[in-house]
Amino acid sequence: MTDRERVQLLQGTLDLVVLQTLALGSLHGHGIATSIQRTTEDELLVDHGSLYPALQRLERARLITSEWGISENNRRARYYTLTRTGRKRLVAETQRWEATVRVISRVLKPRSAT
Amino acid sequence: MNIPRWLRWRSHTELDEEVAAHLEMEVQAQVDLGLTLDDARRAARRRFGNPAVVKQQARENDPLFAFESLIMDVRHSVRSLRRSPGFTIAAVLTLAVSIGATTAIFSVVDGVLLRPMPFPDPDRLVRVTLHTRPQANATVEMPFAELGFFHFVANNRTFARVGGVSIFAGTNGNDEWALTGSGAPYPLAVARMTAGAFAVLGMAPQVGRFFTEAEDRPGGPPVFLMSDALWRSMFNASPSIVGRTVQVNGAPWEVIGVMPASFKFPQAEVDVWIPFQLDPTSRNVNRPSIGLIARLAPGATVESATSDAERLVAGFAAIGYPLNWTRDIITGKAHVRTVKDDVVGRSRQPLLVLLGTMAFVLLIGCSNVANLFQVRAEARAVDAAVRVALGSGRRRVVQLLLTEGLIVALAGGVGGVALAYGSLRGVIALAPASIPRLDEIGLNLTVLVFTAMISLTAGVLFAVLPALRTRTSRVLTSLRAGRSGSTGRERQVVRRGLVVAQVALALALFVGSTLMVRSFAALSAIDPGFDPSRVLTFRVAPGATRYPDGEDVARFYDTLLESVRAIPGVVTAGAASFLPMTGGIGGLGGPFLGTEIEDAPLEPGARAPNSVFRRATPGYFETMGIRLIEGRTFINDDHQRRLGSAIISQSLKNKYWPRSSALGKKVTVVATGAPARVVGVVADVHDTAPDAPVEPVVYKPMLDERGGSIRAMAVTVRTDRDPLAVLPEIRRTIAAADPNLPLSDIQTLQTVLGASMSRTSFTMTVLVLAAGIALFLGAVGIYGVMAYGVAQRTDEIGLRQALGADRASVFRLILVDGLRMDALGIVAGITASLGLGQALSSLLYGVSPYDGATLALAAITFLAVGALASALPVLRAVHISPAVALRRD
């Protein structure tokens, strides 16, 4: 799949995706990246690098925390965990996202809505 | 500088490690999928994106990042500025000169016009004057006599308090006062104030008390308040001064208080304030001397106070003002204005004009530096484009430009303040003494804030113009254009616009300064009617204690002049009540008196026409170099034997006896009573100012028929050497005759004459300086843009020549280009200069603000400068060898 065919991430949705990914448990940066790739079956265009500014942003907002740990193949890696606030935010953001999608879909396909 | 690790939210190395770990994991994952190690690495890096961008973005989340990157930018900017010292020095110097000039003039404007008076609630403090008929007096405003003053005190509806002030002695009073009793007499400037006047002003003495209402009555005790300056210089600021008795003019006076240093009323030089001791019952209105000040009542405005004052003036006839006053002298109008407006008065206009011209200089300087920045930015366009392409955020690039602009601007600002500091003394020394509050001028906080503001604005301006070009759409163009950068037309438009504006502003300044130079030349060319070279003048006032009556005073002057004439180096000596151009008595127009002429009888009830009245001693006309037209000058017999003689000026003679001799004719200066016979006619003298019309003058001897004599006189001494060189010997001579007699207002006649033109010469000097700077900067601006334009068009010129264009056509091509900018600027500048001329018109003498010759001169000068500034680059252009030009890239 070439980059052109991949879906560009909407502004601000990367945060939501990262939060959802961490909802299942702590992960390091590479783990998050592969997890996103796997769940979206490689259809989402995410530069792995762009995760890191997002992670820092979320940590500064206290939605996630991080600490150094040892990875599955014995390497030092920083693990990120969802906080309680992060979990609440995830629920709220998910609802909002769904609402947005519903509305936008109705606009884009008016006939199926009637 | 690096931020200490513990201060950071997360260190750079931690992020580096995290990224490295990520990449390794990804490589491992790809290898597991079956790729070779090399392919896996490539794939991992592609997946990851640009690590530099990631780290940069991550860092921007760090709160310390902004600070850190600022320091980095500063270091980077300083480095890059040091790499191009020519640019840096040119930019900083240009800014320093223009900011310095603006700061110096602004500090004058701030000290004189902007800073509030030291009194509480100064906007409610007003001065009231009576409006006189133009023909009644030299001044159109007049102070009050007791009658009118107490009428205002009792019957006004708009003033909370009313007070009276007047300058009594010293500077422009009519009597001379001195501290005596300890060493050499110390001349004093004395102001009289009513007890109410202090209440109006609302400032308390720093030591002691005001005089009371009881002390402020006729026959009250001799008490006074002294200035902070006198207290410090003569009494070592001793607090025990209050209650002490000091000798003034040989009589005991009690010191009751010391005013604060900021109290400078009615003018800065006052040494002591004495009670006015006005007599409410006085019916004499002929010597009005009371300056009326008042504090507006709550709710009253200057407008309502004016109509209230005019209502009161309308009642003057009813309270006892004689008919000729209400009919011939005062109009019934009154001026009410704030004390500040009153003090600042005529200085406002020239100062604002000068500030405006400095703003022009600043604009020219800034646009020059902005042009330098433009050129520099273009030279580095590729550099910037590469940065953007490599992932440096556009914000970073702009930030870098901004830092550079601000560093240059701040350096220029600091240099400017230093320059202003250095030149401020010169400016103040140059400024006419008639500008009030000169002593309050300095580089204070307001001025520094002003300078900082203009520096910052300039810096942002420099940065913003080149920053516009970093718009990402242009990046590719820049990269493609390669080393020479873009030769984009729009760049040139901005630069050319700036140059046209510079030429226009510089030309306007040039016209303004030329007008001032011509005014000054015209003023200097006026024959004042006397010869000011090598004449020393000073004032003395023999006191009433030692010289009780007029005879004693006259004998004193006879002896004094006799012994002064005997001093080696002295040619002649004489004295007069007032010197030309030293002003009359404190705004009163005192020396202008009605004069009746026997040969021209008045209509019944008409007022005698005014002439300037002076008393003069033998030797005065000779010393002043006032030409004798017919008859003789004064001799000792005129006053000693009271011959009843008078000397008149030529214009007076021409008015009444145009074809016959005036000798022996009878003239009567009404106020002095007795008629006098004309014994001589002398040349006219410009009495008020060189540019004021000649006034008729009547001179009479110092001792009159009634036996009175004027006490205070200005002594004039003509010397055959530097007049100040004989001063010590004169002092010794006078001290030998009377050790208690102070000399005041010691100056040369040349200084007196110069001071009368100082308003013009000050404005002229500042404008000439401004125009000089502007012309130079304007020329540099044209040269810079032309030189750069030629450099940019090297290829084109080479190509043209290769294709057969001869040198002359290339020469024309470029020169016409430069002159077109110049011509546009000249046209715009002439338009602007018409406005400037209008603003200057009150300062001009003998030249019209729209003087065609001046405009033509300016246009020619600027054409020449423009041609010269364009010619140098053009000469380079025509010598470009086509081969070199085309091979250059």
Kindly state whether residue B303 falls inside one of the protein's structural domains: yes
Question: Per the structure block, which two tokens stand in for B833?
Answer: 């200069």
Same domain, B703 and B600: yes
Q: What is the pLDDT of residue B830?
A: 92
H or E element that contains B529: none
| pLDDT bracket for residue B102 (50, 70, 90) | confident
Question: Rounded distance, CA B554 to CA B564, Å?
Answer: 15
- B116 belongs to a structural domain: no
Angle made by CA atoms B131, B134, B140, in degrees to the nearest 5: 40
Chain A residue numbers touching B26 (CB-CB < 8 A): 30, 33, 48
Tell me the two tokens of residue B882: 């086509």
The residues near B580 (Cβ < 8 Å, ≥ 6 apart) are: B528, B529, B530, B685, B686, B687, B752
pLDDT over 60 (residue A112):
no
Q: How far is Cα B742 from Cα B585, in angstroms, rounded to an integer? A: 20
Residues of chain B with C-beta less than 8 angstroms from the C-beta of A73: 25, 28
**Domain end among B696, B714, B740:** B740
Pairs of residues, one from chain A and one from chain B, whose beta carbons lie less than 8 Å apart: 65
Question: In this prediction, does ipTM exceed 0.95?
Answer: no
Chain B residues with CB under 8 Å of A53 CB are: 54, 57-58, 60-61
Domain co-membership, B253 together with B332? yes
Can you tell me the mean pLDDT for B598-619? 79
Q: Are B698 and B613 in contact (CB under 8 A)?
A: yes
CA-CA distance, B569 to B563, in Å (whole number)? 13
- Cα distance between residue B844 and residue B529, in whole Å: 22
Query: Is the Cβ pair A49, B29 closer than 8 Å?
Result: no
Whole-number pLDDT of residue B310: 92
CB nearest A47 (choices: B9, B28, B49): B49
Q: Which of B15, B47, B63 is the last residue of a domain?
A: B63
CB B417 within 8 A of CB B100: yes
Which of A50, A52, A67 to substitute to test the interface with B, most B CBs within 10 Å? A52
Output the pLDDT for position B624.
Answer: 95
Instruction: Please check whether residues B373 and B237 belong to one and the same domain.
Output: no
Spell out which chain A residues touch chain B, with contact meaning CB-CB distance below 8 angstroms: 28-30, 33-34, 47-50, 52-53, 56-57, 60, 71, 73, 75-78
Task: Please check whether residues B134 and B273 belong to one and the same domain.
Answer: yes
What integer pLDDT is reported at residue B476 of this predicted model? 55
The single-letter DSSP state of residue B209 is -
Q: Give mean pLDDT, residues A99-109.
A: 85
Beta strands in B372-474 (DSSP E): none
Chain B CB contacts of A71 below 8 Å: 21, 25
What integer pLDDT is reported at residue A113 of this predicted model? 45
Cβ contact B18–A49 (<8 Å): no
Dump the DSSP string for B829-843: HHHHHHHHHHHHGGG
* pLDDT over 90 (residue B865): no
**pLDDT class of B399 with cuts at 50, 70, 90:** confident
Q: What is the pLDDT of residues B717-765, one digit of tens each?
A: 999 988 889 999 999 998 888 887 878 778 899 888 887 777 778 888 8
Residues A52, B28: C-beta atoms closer than 8 Å: no
Mean pLDDT for the stretch of residues B451-456: 86
The pLDDT assigned to B297 comes to 92
For residue B301, tell me if it sits in a domain. Answer: yes
Is residue B132 domain-resident?
yes
Token code pair at residue B699: 């001179």
Q: Is pLDDT at B434 greater than 80 in this prediction?
A: no
Q: Which residues of A touch B15 (CB under 8 A)?
A: 52
* Residues B111-134 pLDDT 10s: 777 777 788 888 899 999 888 776
- The residue with greater pLDDT, B437 or B35, is B35
Residue B447 banded pLDDT, cuts 50, 70, 90: confident
**SS3 state of residue B630:** strand
User: Is 50 exceeded by the pLDDT of residue B568?
Assistant: yes
The reply to whether residue B54 touches residue A73, judged by beta carbons under 8 angstroms, is no
Q: Indicate if B575 and B495 belong to the same structural domain.
A: no
The pLDDT score that the predictor gives to residue B593 is 65
pLDDT confidence tier of residue B11, bands split at 50, 70 and 90: low
Chain B nearest-CA residue for A28: B22
Mean pLDDT of B491-517: 83
Q: Would the pLDDT of B628 be above 90?
A: yes
Cβ–Cβ contact B50 with A under 8 A: yes
Q: Which two tokens mark B550?
A: 């007029």
Q: Is the pLDDT reported for residue B391 higher than 90?
A: no
pLDDT of residue B176: 61
Share of chain B above pLDDT 70, in %: 85
> Could A48 and B9 be called an inter-chain contact, meaning their C-beta atoms sit closer than 8 Å?
no
In a domain, B87, yes or no: no
A28 CB neighbours in chain B (<8 A) are 21-22, 25
Cβ distance B48 to A47 less than 8 Å, yes or no, reads yes
Q: Is residue B71 part of a domain?
A: no
CA distances from A16 to A92, A95, A99, B665 (A): 10, 11, 14, 113
pLDDT greater than 80 at residue B384: no
Confidence of residue B807 (pLDDT cuts 50, 70, 90): confident
What is residue B142's predicted lDDT score, i.e. its pLDDT? 79
Q: State the pLDDT confidence band at B258, using cuts at 50, 70 and 90.
A: very high
Chain A positions touching B18 (Cβ under 8 A) are 29, 52, 77-78
pLDDT for position B607: 66
Burial degree of B34 (CB within 10 A; 0-12, 13-18, 19+): exposed
Same-domain check for residues B679 and B655: yes
A3-113 maps to CATH 3.30.450.40: no
The CB-side HSE value for B198 (13 A sphere, CA atoms) comes to 24
- Chain A closest-CA separation from residue B25 CA (Å): 7
> Do B200 and B333 sit in the same domain of this protein?
yes
Residue B647 has pLDDT above 90, yes or no: yes
Boundary-marking domain end, from B36, B63, B90 = B63
Residues B217 and B318 occupy one common structural domain: yes
Q: What digits encode the pLDDT tens for the residues B472-500?
A: 445 555 555 544 444 455 556 777 788 88
Torsion of CA B19, B20, B25, B30, to 10 degrees: 100
Mean pLDDT confidence for B306-321: 90
Range of the domain at B314: 122-346
Q: Which residues of chain B lie closer than 8 angstroms to A49, CB-CB?
A: 19, 48-51, 53-54
Q: Tokens for B195?
A: 């007890």
Beta strands B272-275 and B190-193 are: parallel
What residue spans define the domains of chain A?
Answer: 3-113
Interface test with B, best of A48, A64, A70 (most B CBs within 10 A): A48
Residue B590 lies in a domain: yes
Lowest-confidence range among A36-40, B476-480, B623-627? B476-480
Angle between helix B348-379 and helix B445-467 axes, rounded to 10 deg: 30
Mean pLDDT of B538-554: 82
Contact with chain A for residue B15, Cβ under 8 A: yes
Q: Does B399 lie in the same domain as B340?
A: no
- Is the CB of residue B10 less than 8 Å away from at least one CB of chain A? yes
Both B718 and B821 in a single domain? no
Structural domains in chain B (count):
4
Q: pLDDT averaged over chain B?
A: 81
CB contact under 8 Å between B21 and A76, yes or no, is yes
Using one digit for the tens of pLDDT, what is the confidence trace for B320-345? 888 777 777 778 888 898 887 877 76
The residue-averaged pLDDT of B690-714 equals 78
B24 vs A: CB within 8 A? yes
**Same domain (yes/no): B43, B132:** no
What does pTM read for this prediction? Answer: 0.66
| Residue that has been written with the tokens 């010997």 in this structure | B729
Residue B91 lies in a domain: no
**CA atoms within 13 Å, Cβ hemisphere of B725:** 9
CB atoms inside a 10 Å sphere around CB B263: 21
Of B85-99, B430-444, B582-596, B599-613, the one with minimum mean pLDDT is B582-596
Report in angstroms the alpha-carbon separations of B362 from B461, B533, B826: 13, 40, 19
Predicted pLDDT at B589: 37
Residue B802 pLDDT > 90: no
Residue B544 has pLDDT above 90, yes or no: no
Answer yes or no: is pLDDT of B470 > 50. yes
B793 shares its domain with B730: no
DSSP state of B596: E
pLDDT given for residue B110 in this prediction:
82
pLDDT for residue B172 is more than 50: no
